[in-house]
């Protein structure tokens, strides 16, 4: 249980790029980072509009002289201060992640980067090599993976509760973009513009979330081949897709599917993962994140509840309130930011860590998966070897 106990000696001096007023994801970054006093927000280039960014930073009690007009000025100036920033979170649209992340690493900063880390595997490898050379952490905000019941599923798979894994069915299928909402919504407009969003819309925007959950829960499965079909039901979104199906074969003989969809009319979030083994299955749905269904063949189904003593120790270690009280996405993100902070300090002290978190490899894998899906889909929805 987390009681607010110290896990690092001093809060990391932290900044944000993007995540400004009205952005979708900025607030949860701040809420997660500041929750356990492992970070303190001291600087930022919060908005593409410098004036708006400054006004917003001042609202958050950041000194006005540390509300910078852009990330380049911040990285050049702030790190020179005796109390200069040590870490930065990047919460800007996709097309800027690569250059901002690279600049941050070159400035000697640890990074938390939004997904997708970048657009190509070559860029991802370059960022990973740079982080390694400069002894820095890159954390990726696959926020759902911070839910406690994902940890429970991981432990149960490792303990053999399901037997050998045969099938993983995944989906992130919401209905919010069933019509061209981008005409009136800036944060959807860039998502369907390949220059800013990258080579995909829903595959990269939402499909990589359950994909990463599968990597956490069943880390031994490696994709061998895949086939993807993608569609733009709202025609103006082409060449970017608002629906996609991906079928994957793993090196163990298991198979998996990911349904990525923004036009699933009537669905709220629709992010689910079902892991099917030879003797039992697990199922988790992000709209009920405190529960995990465990279904053993020929036995009544069980619903495992967050916070209960029957769970694996790792699945109750980051509880913040007792069982029965709902924890949510804010807590899941806070769990990840806590691990990011511990990983950053361990890096600085050249110590090994014994916990997982969505790291640069997770970011690389997401980029690689999208790249492969797009290659398969654009070649006519054919099976391709996973590169
Ligand atoms: P948004 O359009 O709502 O907000 C983007 C913010 O970035 C705005 O404040 C904008 O002014 C600022 N910005 C843009 N360019 C900038 C620059 N060069 N310098 C400084 N600030 C800049 O976008 P969003 O929906 O918040 O998405 C941002 C990123 O977060 C995207 O990469 C998206 O994929 C990701 N995201 C992740 C999750 C998740 O669950 N991890 C959820 C939503 C969004």
User: How many Cβ atoms are within 10 Å of 275's Cβ, its own excluded?
Assistant: 27
Residue 100 alpha carbon, nearest atom of ligand 1: 18
Name the domain boundary from 103, 118, 143.
Answer: 143
Mean per-residue pLDDT, 312-323:
97
Helix/strand/coil for 206? helix
| CATH number of the domain residue 215 falls in | 3.30.360.10
The DSSP secondary-structure symbol of 94 reads G
Tell me how far the alpha carbon of residue 225 lies from the centroid of ligand 1, in angstroms. Answer: 32
Q: Check whether 338 has a pLDDT greater than 90.
A: yes
Q: What does R_g of the chain's alpha carbons equal in angstroms?
A: 21
How many structural domains compose the chain? 2
Sheet with 39-45, edge to edge strand ranges: 39-45, 12-18, 87-91, 110-113, 138-140
The residue whose CA is least distant from atom 17 of ligand 1 is: 48
pLDDT more than 70, % of the chain: 100
Kindly tell me the burial class for residue 330, based on how many C-beta atoms sit within 10 Å of its own C-beta (0-12, 13-18, 19 or more).
Answer: middle
Residue 71 alpha carbon, nearest atom of ligand 1: 19
Tell me the pLDDT of the chain averaged across its residues. 98
The pLDDT, as a whole number, for residue 136 is 98
Is 132 found in the same domain as 176?
A: no
- The rounded distance, in Å, linking the Cα atoms of 260 and 169 is 12
With CA atoms as reference, report the closest residue to 276 among 352, 338, 341, 217: 217
Angle CA 254–363–91, to nearest 5: 135
The pLDDT-based confidence of 5 (bands split at 50, 70, 90) is: confident
Angle CA 49–50–51, to nearest 5: 95
Whether the Cβ atoms of residue 370 and residue 223 lie closer than 8 Å to each other = no
Question: Which of 15, 17, 18, 71 should be mutated for ligand 1, with most atoms under 8 A from CB?
Answer: 18
Is 184 found in the same domain as 201?
A: yes
Q: Does residue 303 lie within any of the structural domains?
A: yes
Tell me how far the alpha carbon of residue 70 lies from the centroid of ligand 1, in angstroms. Answer: 15
The pLDDT, as a whole number, for residue 61 is 97
Phi, psi of 243 (to 5 degrees): -150, 140
Q: Does residue 102 lie within any of the structural domains?
A: yes
Query: Could you read off the pLDDT of 93-110 as tens digits, one per residue?
Result: 999 999 999 999 999 999
Mean per-residue pLDDT, 118-147:
98
Is 168 found in the same domain as 63?
A: no
The pLDDT-based confidence of 4 (bands split at 50, 70, 90) is: confident
Is 56 found in the same domain as 182?
A: no
Is 304 found in the same domain as 157?
A: yes
Is 176 found in the same domain as 87?
A: no
Whether the Cβ atoms of residue 274 and residue 169 lie closer than 8 Å to each other = yes
The pLDDT, as a whole number, for residue 84 is 98
Is 182 found in the same domain as 86?
A: no
Residue 205 alpha carbon, nearest atom of ligand 1: 34
Q: Check whether 193 has a pLDDT greater than 90.
A: yes
Query: Could you read off the pLDDT of 249-263 as tens digits, one per residue?
Result: 999 999 999 999 999
Query: Could you read off the pLDDT of 272-293 as tens digits, one per residue?
Result: 999 999 999 999 999 999 999 9
Whether the Cβ atoms of residue 173 and residue 264 lie closer than 8 Å to each other = yes
The pLDDT, as a whole number, for residue 358 is 98
From residue 367, alpha-carbon distances to 133, 207, 321, 323, 363 in Å are 21, 11, 35, 36, 6
Tell me how far the alpha carbon of residue 77 lies from the centroid of ligand 1, in angstroms. Answer: 23
Range of the domain at 27: 12-143
β-strands 280-285, 271-277: how paired? antiparallel
Tokens for 332, please give them.
């899941």
Q: Does residue 7 lie within any of the structural domains?
A: no
Tokens for 345, please give them.
């300090």
Is 78 found in the same domain as 40?
A: yes
Is 152 found in the same domain as 136?
A: no
User: How big is the chain, counted in residues?
Assistant: 387
Q: Check whether 328 has a pLDDT greater than 90.
A: yes
Is 188 found in the same domain as 135?
A: no
Q: Does residue 339 lie within any of the structural domains?
A: no
Q: Does residue 114 lie within any of the structural domains?
A: yes
Q: Which residues line ligand 1 (CB under 6 A)?
A: 17-20, 23-25, 45, 47-48, 71, 91-94, 96, 114-115, 141, 143, 186-187, 205
- pTM given for the model: 0.98
- The rounded distance, in Å, linking the Cα atoms of 206 and 99 is 22
């Amino acid at each position: 249980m987390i009681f607010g106990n110290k896990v690092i000696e001093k809060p990391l001096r932290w900044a944000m790029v993007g995540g400004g007023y009205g952005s979708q994801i900025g607030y949860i970054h701040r809420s997660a980072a500041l929750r356990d006093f492992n970070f303190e927000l001291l600087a930022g280039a919060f908005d593409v509009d410098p004036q708006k960014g400054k006004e917003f930073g001042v609202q958050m009690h950041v000194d006005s002289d540390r509300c910078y007009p852009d990330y380049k000025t911040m990285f050049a100036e702030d790190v020179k201060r005796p109390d200069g920033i040590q870490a930065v979170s990047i919460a800007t649209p996709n097309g800027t992640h690569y250059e901002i992340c690279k600049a941050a690493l070159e400035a000697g900063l640890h990074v938390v980067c939004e997904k997708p880390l970048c657009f190509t595997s070559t860029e991802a490898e370059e960022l990973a090599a740079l982080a390694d050379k400069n002894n820095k952490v890159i954390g990726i905000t696959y926020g759902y993976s911070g839910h406690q019941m994902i940890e429970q599923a991981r432990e149960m798979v490792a303990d053999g509760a399901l037997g050998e894994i045969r099938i993983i069915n995944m989906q992130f299928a919401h209905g919010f973009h069933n019509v061209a909402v981008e005409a009136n919504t800036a944060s959807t407009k860039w998502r369907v513009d390949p220059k800013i969003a990258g080579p995909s819309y829903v595959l990269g925007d939402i499909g990589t979330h359950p994909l990463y959950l599968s990597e956490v829960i069943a880390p031994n499965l490696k994709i061998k081949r895949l086939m993807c079909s993608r569609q733009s039901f709202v025609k103006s979104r082409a060449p970017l897709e608002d629906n996609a199906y991906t079928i994957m074969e793993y090196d163990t003989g298991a198979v998996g599917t990911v349904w990525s969809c923004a036009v699933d009319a009537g669905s709220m979030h629709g992010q689910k993962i079902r892991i099917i083994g030879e003797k039992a299955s697990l199922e988790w749905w992000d709209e009920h994140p405190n529960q995990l269904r465990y279904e053993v063949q020929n036995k009544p189904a069980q619903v495992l509840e967050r916070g209960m003593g029957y769970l694996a120790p790792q699945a109750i270690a980051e509880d913040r309130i007792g069982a029965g009280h709902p924890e949510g996405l804010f807590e899941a993100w806070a769990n990840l930011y806590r691990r990011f902070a511990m990983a950053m300090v361990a890096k600085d002290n050249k110590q090994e860590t014994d916990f997982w978190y969505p790291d640069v490899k997770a970011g690389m894998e997401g980029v690689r998966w999208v790249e492969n899906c797009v290659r398969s889909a654009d070649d006519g929805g054919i099976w391709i070897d996973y590169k």
